[in-house]
Amino acid sequence: MAGATIAVASDHAGFDLKEILKRDLREAGHDVLDLGTNSTASVDYPDFGHAMADAIASGRAGKVVVVCGTGIGISIAVNRHPKCRAALAHDVTAARLGREHNDANVVAFGARVIGTEVAREALKVFLKTPFDGGRHAGRVAKLSKG
């Protein structure tokens, strides 16, 4: 997976955590596509969630990391798009199961509710965990149906 392009985005509340995770991704050998925001100045999280969905739909990124204050708002914005499956992860187990059971291509973190080290470990697990397929494949296919 090293070398793959991973997109990152956040709102103002998630900016600092996004920057830490972005650094970790680069150090692990990934190309990083940063779709903003670029400071802690107040912005609207839906704008960045929709930008991430566009990055997935266009093929510019296969996996995505999004961060807002709780992770809830930005994951809702991303999940409005049929090619996106965002898993809100508060810990390593949620990150792993989001990949194994839901084939999540987006991991969402809440900067105000998750510790930095937990987010860093959860991201590593998210990226290395494969989708189990099997009984989960049919369920995941239903997620893309309108």
- Which residues are identified as catalytic? 68, 101
Give the helix/strand (H/E) hosting 106.
strand 106-110
CA distances from 92 to 25, 112, 119, 145 (A): 17, 17, 8, 29
Give the helix/strand (H/E) hosting 128.
helix 116-128
| Structure tokens, 17 | 């955590």
Residue type for position 43: V
